[in-house]
């Protein structure tokens, strides 16, 4: 594939519409900042391109720590507007005399290879190129709070990025507009048409997945899209890489944990399983600390630590005893915290993985097991937070979301449930074992 000469990657926004304490481009999803996902997606298709990454002035050091320090990456501070930031990027690229330039939003991490290819090909025979998709909503033109007109949707499109231009032509347009007027424009095609009223900008087909992360709901959607993409990739590469791995499984003497122990052992891993049945109560911090220390002493190191332990007491909350409520919180949440705390040091040494188990009820609480569901929902949050905290240490932290599974714990709480409607523990364990072989981080894997 022909590579485009240069890329301006716009990461200078404040993310004010998203809320929160950091710009959207620096929020971690699937174990990486959004900016890194976007950069890697572009770099895979444009391995020789010169990048100008435009970032907030107070985040330049942060961006330098995220993006590989290659001679084809230039990191510069942004302007006071989107177009001001684009101008900063163009100026940084100018000494390298690029022929063509691609402008892309850092908050669009799902840019696909087909779009990039189509944009590059279209620029070969056109003045400029934009990416757009059809709108499904009716567009209303408003004035003073009333509808002025409703244009036909046939020719109304939603613009995306990247946009592509011949470099010198775009620079000339910016010079003609002048910096004082840049705030009047929302994208580079608008600037080009202002300077070239009869110009023709070729439109190439965008993609519904090429979303721009702008609002809080977009983060939830993006997180799910990363999960779905990982699941699809896992199905294409369904093998298990366990040979020679040292594994400690909490809750590994029954249910899914026992099935994982059997599968990982058969695949060539050395596995130690701990649970209450052999003297390890994960709600007791000292038990957890000792179990991990003994496993390291026995195996020499730990590549994987799995927490498949759980405690469910079904029934209405008002009918549960204080002991039942407290026990579920201690095992499901505090136990997970103790395992995470004492796993850090051995997993940092091996750049290993901590694998947690949540529940399919993490997205919506269900009657008759609200404490169990609440604690398992917390495990999802714990996983995502730790994946960020430990990323610099090379530790991956992921979470399995099993469907309804035929385990002893479930049978004791749902005695009338039809067994044929439940998953076999070994089916779930096999999916979890495949997740252990992946490079994912901060992911929720449904199995």
Residue 310: name the closest of 394, 377, 367, 210 by CA: 377
Evaluate if residue 418 carries a pLDDT over 90. Answer: no
DSSP state of 11: -
Chain mean pLDDT for the chain: 89
What CATH number labels 6-214?
A: 3.90.550.10
Residue 190: name the closest of 54, 83, 55 by CA: 83
Evaluate if residue 234 carries a pLDDT over 60. Answer: no
3-class SS string, the chain: CCCCCEEEEECCCCCCCCCCCCCHHHCEECCEEHHHHHHHHHHHHCCCCEEEEEECHHHHHHHHHHCCCCCCEEEEECCCCHHHHHHHHHHHHHHHCCCEEEEEECCCCCCCHHHHHHHHHHHCCCCEEEEEEECCCCCCEEECCEEEECCCHHHCEEEEEEEEEEHHHHHHHHHHHCHHHHHHCCCHHHHHHHHCCCCCEEEEECCCCCCCCCCHHHHHHHHHHHHHHHHHHHHHCCCCCCCCCEEEEECCCCHHHHHHHHHHHHCCCEEEEECHHHCCCCCCHHHHHHHHHHHHHHHCCCCEEEECCCCCCCCCHHHCCHHHHHHHHHHHHHHHHHHHHHHHHHHHHHCCEEEEECCHHHHCCCCCCHHHHHHHHHHHHHHHHHHHHCHHHCCEEEEEECCCECCHHHHHHCCCCCHHHCECHHHHHHHHHHHHCCCCCCCEEEC
Under CATH, what is the fold of the domain 237-446?
A: Rossmann fold (3.40.50)
Q: Are 226 and 443 in contact (CB under 8 A)?
A: yes
Evaluate if residue 307 carries a pLDDT over 50. Answer: yes
In this prediction, residue 230 carries a pLDDT of: 66
Structure tokens at 224: 């799910």
Residue 423: name the closest of 408, 442, 403 by CA: 403
Share of the chain above pLDDT 70, in %: 91
In this prediction, residue 14 carries a pLDDT of: 66
pTM: 0.72
Q: How far is CA 318 from its chain centroid? A: 38
Q: Are 327 and 313 in contact (CB under 8 A)?
A: yes
Confidence tier at 417 by pLDDT (50, 70, 90): low
Structure tokens at 30: 């699937």
Structure tokens at 22: 């950091």
Q: Per-residue pLDDT tens for 372-399?
A: 999 999 999 999 899 989 998 999 999 9
3-state DSSP assignment of residue 136: coil
- Say how far apart CA 274 and CA 251 lie, in whole Å: 6
Structure tokens at 15: 């993310």
Q: What is the mean pLDDT of residues 299-320?
A: 94
- Say how far apart CA 237 and CA 259 lie, in whole Å: 21
Torsion of CA 214, 216, 222, 224, to 10 degrees: -170
- Which tops the pLDDT comparison, 308 or 425? 308
Evaluate if residue 60 carries a pLDDT over 50. Answer: yes
Structure tokens at 377: 């929902």
Domain boundaries along the sequence of the chain: 6-214, 237-446
Residue 110: name the closest of 237, 221, 233 by CA: 221
Q: Say how many C-beta atoms besides its own lie within 10 A of residue 245's C-beta.
A: 23
Residue 275: name the closest of 168, 408, 182, 388 by CA: 408
In this prediction, residue 232 carries a pLDDT of: 60
DSSP state of 423: B
In this prediction, residue 164 carries a pLDDT of: 97
């Amino acid at each position: 594939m022909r590579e485009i000469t240069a890329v301006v990657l716009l990461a200078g926004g404040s993310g004010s519409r998203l809320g929160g304490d950091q710009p959207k481009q620096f929020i971690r999803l699937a174990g990486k900042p959004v900016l890194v996902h976007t950069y890697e997606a572009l770099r895979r298709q444009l391995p020789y391109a010169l990048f100008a990454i435009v970032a907030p002035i107070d985040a330049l050091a942060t961006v330098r720590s995220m993006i590989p320090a290659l001679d084809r990456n230039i990191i510069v501070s942004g302007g006071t507007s989107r177009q001001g930031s684009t101008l900063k990027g163009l100026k940084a690229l100018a000494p390298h005399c690029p022929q063509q330039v691609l402008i892309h939003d850092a908050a669009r991490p799902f840019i696909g290879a087909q779009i990039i290819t189509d944009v590059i090909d279209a620029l070969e025979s056109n003045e400029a190129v934009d990416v757009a998709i059809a709108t499904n909503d009716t567009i209303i033109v408003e004035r003073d709070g009333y509808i002025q007109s409703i244009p036909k949707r046939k020719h109304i499109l939603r613009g995306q990025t990247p946009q592509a231009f011949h470099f010198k032509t775009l620079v000339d347009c910016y010079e003609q507009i002048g910096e004082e007027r840049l705030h009047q424009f929302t994208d580079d095609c608008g600037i080009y048409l202002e300077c070239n009223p009869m110009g023709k900008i070729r439109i190439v087909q965008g993609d519904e997945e090429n979303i721009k992360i702008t609002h809080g709901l977009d983060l939830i959607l993006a997180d799910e899209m990363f999960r779905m993409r990982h699941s699809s990739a896992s199905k294409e590469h369904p093998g298990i890489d366990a040979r020679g791995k040292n594994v400690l499984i909490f809750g590994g003497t029954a249910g899914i944990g026992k099935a994982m122990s059997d599968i990982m052992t058969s695949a060539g891993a050395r596995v130690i399983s701990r649970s209450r049945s052999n003297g390890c109560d994960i709600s007791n911090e000292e038990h957890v600390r000792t179990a991990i220390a003994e496993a390291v002493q026995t195996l020499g190191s730990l590549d994987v630590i799995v927490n498949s332990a759980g405690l469910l007491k079904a029934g209405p909350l008002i009918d549960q005893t204080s002991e039942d409520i407290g026990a579920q919180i201690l095992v499901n949440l505090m136990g997970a915290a103790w395992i995470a705390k004492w796993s850090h040091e051995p997993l940092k040494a091996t750049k290993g993985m901590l694998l947690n188990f949540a529940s399919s009820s993490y997205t919506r609480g269900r009657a008759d097991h609200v404490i169990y569901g609440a604690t398992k929902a917390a495990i999802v949050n714990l996983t995502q937070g730790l994946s960020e905290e430990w990323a610099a240490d090379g530790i991956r932290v992921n979470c399995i979301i099993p469907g309804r599974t035929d385990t002893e714990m479930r049978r004791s709480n749902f005695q009338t449930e039809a067994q044929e409607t439940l998953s076999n523990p070994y089916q779930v364990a096999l999916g979890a074992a495949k997740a252990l072989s992946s490079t994912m981080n901060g992911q929720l894997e449904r199995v």
